[in-house]
Structure 1
Amino acid sequence: MRTNRLILTGIFLLMLIGALACRKDKNNNDDTGRISMRLTDAPADYDAVYIDIQQVEFKMRGRAAIMLTPNRPGMYNVLNFRNGTDTLLVNTTVPVGDIEQVRLILGANNYVVVDGDTYPLTTPSGQQSGVKLNLHTTIEANASYDMWIDFDAGKSVNHTGSGKYQLKPVIRAYSALTNGRIEGYVLPLSAMATVYAINGADTVSAIPAPDGHFVISGLAEGSYQLYIEPAVLTFASFSTNVNVSFGVIANVGTITLL
């Protein structure tokens, strides 16, 4: 009988340990959410713009900063990620709470290619500690969040003269919940047009793909002037108003310049 009691006691202890372990695992899962952060780009008149991204830091309210290494740390040609194309930077879990800021930690290998020639991109001393982005998002337990870092290469690379270029990143950060989009087609391709979405002092641009397709993402809700400017002056510019709402793609169809 004593042996049976010992066996039953051992079984009970094993069951209790297993239950506590399961409870602990469940609590750990309940204390995190998943973030997928992607890199995309606004257009620029360069052959290539390479940015050396080494780490991504999330600053959360009331918690220590979370430092993450990208899936592929190193150089990214941001001009490869336009018109709705992006690349995954990080895909990981983070503690629940409020994200207040994202910081990109850049390495030293940043450069621009202009007409086939390569020039280093120097970084102002004030940004050598990282590029800071305000992104206010609340992470809830067991939820997944898609976020984008939109690098505006045209505004971020400054030609200072004598073959020297400076990197002063102009970047927007937005999530799937704050992603207003306008898309469509601009023809003919020979017009070499640039598309602008204008809301007050905020202007976001896109260069159509080889088939004429364009996407402008990360827009706040509101009314925008969609302005299309051809580089070939024999074509006339075009302008229309577009209403942007989160969760809805404002498709303007095909616009043919005359």
Structure 2
Amino acid sequence: MKFPQLLSVAALASLAFAGCSKDNDAQNQAKLEVRLTDAPGDFSRVNLDVQQIEVHLKDEADPTGWERLAFTPQALNILDYVNGRSALLVSTDFAPGDLKEIRLILGPNNTVTTRDGETYTLKTPSGQTSGVKLKLDKVTLRASETYQLLLDFDVAKSIVERGNWKPGNDKKERYLLKPVVRLVAQEIAGGIYGQVTPAAALPQVLAIRSSLTPADTFSTSADATGAYRLQSLPSGTYRLEYFPSTTAPANQPAYRPATRTGIVVVNNQQTNVPSVSLVN
């Protein structure tokens, strides 16, 4: 999200109103993230054709309990996401409540590339065409809180070589895809707080998670003392942008936007940002 260096008072008033409405709506919603990471295997590339992600909201036996999450179908080389890296699949507002299961539905275009550069289609056994289902144990989404579901894909265990395959045999797929996925569920409780001066500037504060592509943006307003706080932030590196929503009185220095970069947020910790001034 980008802003011009100077915004009109009217535009900022509109931003403040929209931000307030968004914040009020957000207070009644939970935030749900779904991420994918990988335990390495002895391959050079593994492409997963991820088509759909769903969560189950009712008892396991109720087939109507599945709800589709906002997700764009895409191919992911999961070997890009090792050693602490992860792919953000879903980041969405969600109604508070209990989650029972998550289901990852794969398409037919899954492939594996071996160390010698040969690429093979990964055949999925018929019993798993309905999706990879993972049970959730006591996962409750609460209003204004963020919850993350990390799908830890084990490549070494998930890709199985057929016992009857022989080099040069083009009629049989060499590998089967039998996904082995460990689910890690956690509440996200990082935060940022600080002070903006002068408080009379009525500043808006944007926290942009710059370590994520595409970037994720959170917003709030400073209170009457210039203090602000953003809660339930996912861990990562943030850029903070501050915008005055009013003009300075006559004969006083003009209010200017300000930016702070490299703000690191860690789960279950509150990051204090040094005071920011909106005047030269």
Structure-2-length-normalised TM-score: 0.51
Equivalents in 1 of 2:101, 2:133: separation in Å? 7
Shift of the alpha carbon at 1:175?
2.1
Give the AA of the match of 1:49: V
**Counterpart secondary structure, 2:42:** coil
**Which consecutive segments of 4 or more residues in structure 1 shift more than 3 A?**
28-31
Aligned to 2:84: 84
Shift of the alpha carbon at 1:50?
0.7
Give the AA of the match of 1:43: P
Give the AA of the match of 2:49: D
Shift of the alpha carbon at 1:29?
4.4
CA contact 1:135–1:174 (8 Å) conserved in 2: no
Over the aligned positions, Cα root-mean-square deviation in angstroms equals 2.7
**Counterpart secondary structure, 2:79:** helix
- Larger strand proportion of the pair: 1
Shift of the alpha carbon at 1:38?
0.9
Shift of the alpha carbon at 1:64?
3.4
Kindly report which structure 2 residues correspond to 1:13-162, keeping only aligned pairs within 5 A, or say none: 29-61=26-58, 64-70=65-71, 72-114=72-114, 115-136=116-137, 137-160=139-162, 161-162=165-166
Give the AA of the match of 1:74: Q
CA contact 2:35–2:150 (8 Å) conserved in 1: yes
Percent of residue pairs bearing the same amino acid type? 41
The answer for unaligned runs of 5 or more in structure 1 is 1-21, 179-245, 249-258
**Aligned with 2:184 (options 153, 162, 174):** 174
Shift of the alpha carbon at 1:61?
2.7
Give the AA of the match of 2:122: L
CA contact 1:61–1:97 (8 Å) conserved in 2: no
Equivalents in 2 of 1:51, 1:147: separation in Å? 18
- Larger helix proportion of the pair: 1
Equivalents in 1 of 2:268, 2:43: separation in Å? 32
Equivalents in 2 of 1:64, 1:101: separation in Å? 10
Residues 91-140 of structure 1: CA deviation (Å, up to 9, x unaligned): 00121111110000111110100120010000011110100011231011
Aligned to 1:201: none
Equivalents in 2 of 1:138, 1:158: separation in Å? 35
**Counterpart secondary structure, 2:65:** coil
CA contact 2:32–2:93 (8 Å) conserved in 1: yes
**Counterpart secondary structure, 1:93:** strand
Shift of the alpha carbon at 1:147?
2.2
Residues 161-195 of structure 1: CA deviation (Å, up to 9, x unaligned): 235100000001112359xxxxxxxxxxxxxxxxx
Equivalents in 2 of 1:29, 1:40: separation in Å? 28
Structure-1-length-normalised TM-score: 0.56
Give the AA of the match of 1:34: K
Shift of the alpha carbon at 1:65?
1.9
Give the AA of the match of 2:103: R
Equivalents in 2 of 1:101, 1:51: separation in Å? 21
Q: How many residues align?
A: 157
Change (3 A) 1:177 1:31: closer
